[in-house]
C-alpha cells in the first residue's frame, strides 16, 4: 500500500482523520501524515464517534497503557462533536450517497469544519463530490 500523499493540499491543511488510520497510526503508510502533523505543518481533527471507536479496543482489553497512548496522541487534535447540524448533514449524506452511518458522520463532520481532506481506510466515499478523501 502506498503512503498517503498530501500533495495538492493547501499549506497547513486541516485533516479529519477516520478511526482506522488512528488505530494503525504507526503503520508505514500513515507515517508521512503523522510526521507533517508533528512538524506543525498540518492540523488534525477527529470526531467523537472516532474517539469512541479508537478507545473501544484498548478499554475492552482493559489495556489502560494503550488507551492512554491513544489519549496522549489525540490531545492536540481538534475534536468535532456530533451536534444536530452534523447529524442532519450525515442523514442527508446517507440518503444521497448511500453511506453507512459512521462514514456519513465522518464526511458530514469534515464538511462542517471545512476540512481540506478526510483520511480514511474505507473505500465507500466515492459518491462524495465536495470532499477530498485520501485513502490509506
The model's confidence at residue 29, banded by pLDDT at 50, 70 and 90, is low
Q: What is the pLDDT of residues 81-95, one digit of tens each?
A: 999 999 999 999 999
Grid coordinates given for 81: 462533536
**Which burial class, exposed, middle or buried, applies to 134 when counting CB atoms under 10 A from its CB (0-12, 13-18, 19+)?**
buried
> Could you tell me if residue 2 is inside a domain?
no
> Could you tell me if residue 70 is inside a domain?
yes
Predicted TM-score (pTM) of this structure:
0.87
CB 103 within 8 A of CB 124: yes
> Could you tell me if residue 105 is inside a domain?
yes
> Could you tell me if residue 9 is inside a domain?
no
Q: Which domain holds residue 52?
A: 14-122
> Could you tell me if residue 77 is inside a domain?
yes
What pLDDT, on the 0 to 100 scale, is given for residue 95?
A: 95
Q: What are phi and psi of 99, to 5 degrees?
A: -85, 150
The total number of structural domains in the chain stands at 1
> Could you tell me if residue 129 is inside a domain?
no
**Is residue 70 pLDDT above 70, yes or no?**
yes
Give the H or E element holding residue 118: strand 117-120
For residue 76, the domain's CATH number is 3.40.50.1010
**Is residue 13 pLDDT above 60, yes or no?**
yes
> Could you tell me if residue 133 is inside a domain?
no
**Is residue 129 pLDDT above 70, yes or no?**
yes
What pLDDT, on the 0 to 100 scale, is given for residue 123?
A: 67
Amino acid at each position: 500500500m502506498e503512503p498517503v500523499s498530501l500533495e495538492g493540499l493547501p499549506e497547513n491543511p486541516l485533516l479529519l482523520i477516520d478511526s482506522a488510520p488512528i488505530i494503525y497510526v504507526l503503520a508505514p503508510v500513515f507515517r508521512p501524515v503523522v510526521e507533517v502533523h508533528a512538524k506543525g505543518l498540518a492540523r488534525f481533527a477527529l470526531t467523537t464517534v472516532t474517539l469512541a471507536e479508537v478507545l473501544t479496543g484498548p478499554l475492552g482489553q482493559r489495556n489502560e497503557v494503550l488507551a492512554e497512548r491513544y489519549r496522549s496522541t489525540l490531545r492536540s487534535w481538534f475534536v468535532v462533536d456530533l451536534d444536530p447540524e452534523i447529524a442532519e448533514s450525515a442523514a442527508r449524506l446517507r440518503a444521497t450517497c448511500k453511506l453507512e452511518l459512521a462514514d456519513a458522520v465522518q464526511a458530514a463532520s469534515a464538511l462542517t469544519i471545512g476540512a481540506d481532506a478526510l483520511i480514511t481506510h474505507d473505500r465507500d466515499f466515492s459518491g462524495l463530490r465536495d470532499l477530498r478523501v485520501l485513502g490509506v
